[in-house]
Amino acid sequence: MSLKVQALRKRYGTRQVLDGIDFEVIPHDIHAIVGVSGSGKSTILRIIAGLDTSDEGEVFWNHRSLLKVPAHKRRVTMLSQSALLFPHLTVGENVTLATRSRSREQAERWLNVVRLGDRYDAEVHELSGGEQQRVSLARALAAEPEVLLLDEPFTNLDPNLKFDLQRFIRDLVKELDLTAVLVTHDREEAMLMADRVTLLESGKVTSTGTAKELYESAPGFGDFLMIDGELRPLSDVMVSEAVGEPVRLMKKIYRFGQSFGEYHFEDGRSVMLPTHESFQVGTMYRIKRKEG
């Protein structure tokens, strides 16, 4: 059930936006495509979803050409930056429309999944931005996709909501055994959410690998710390100032893959934290200056 993108090329006018893109998404992975704005990320997703065509190349799902399947028959749905709900329909009607059987019961089921089970009859404008994005997710899931395409869906959310929704979507993709492609310009987001990462530059793939491999080989992925068995960006972890003094971890944590031992602070200080143990929020730890 892997999703394989092969030698994808796309030109708009004189601009070669995709210049031979290859990557493979392992089933049930969240695969991040990371690149600056204008690097062609959305174009890749639109081609996979059938909202745009490629000039050359192929996309395979289950070893079959996906590009030959009409868009509405692809088991692929996309979640974008804006929730794009119909404002004249209720929350629930927006989701019902997306279900294969146009069933209220199914829609309620998906609203329950995104923890909005009691908002079926609410008007769209009564919901917060984060809630609307969850409705949008319910709508995407209601179509029963095998592949979920996430086009920077957290961009317009405030930091706390963003963090909650990142975690929520990651857990959901794993729980529902979906395969997801997340495009983002945010390397920290890729580290937090993705199993594998592909870097995109000027329409070409520059590297691809596990999140940890990319973290170690490419700059700009932020500083992370394993706490309570989960990986957190250092920016979310508050420690006391004084080196050698006990520090208290102040923030609740996310998932964890592996920790990396050395942490750089904004003021140029770098510290070692033990990597063999899991940290607990609210507990005191000592940090010490890195040797050399």
Question: Considering beta carbons, is residue 43 or 136 the nearer one to ligand ADP?
Answer: 43
> Which of 12, 86, 264, 280 contacts ligand ADP by CB under 6 A?
12
43 binds ligand ADP (CB under 6 A): yes
> Which of 3, 39, 127, 145 contacts ligand ADP by CB under 6 A?
39
Q: How many residues does the chain have?
A: 292
- Binding part of the chain for ligand ADP, among 30-38, 101-109, 233-241, 261-269 by CB under 6 A, reads 30-38
> Which of 23, 25, 31, 40 contacts ligand ADP by CB under 6 A?
40
Which one of Mg ion, ligand ADP, none is in contact with 17 (Cβ closer than 5 to 8 A by kind)?
Answer: ligand ADP
Question: Considering beta carbons, is residue 107 or 149 the nearer one to ligand ADP?
Answer: 149
CB of 173 vs Mg ion, minimal distance in Å: 20
Each residue 213-252 as x (binds ligand ADP by CB under 6 A) or -, in order, gives ----------------------------------------
Chain residues in the site for Mg ion (CB under 5 A): 42
CB of 131 vs ligand ADP, minimal distance in Å: 25
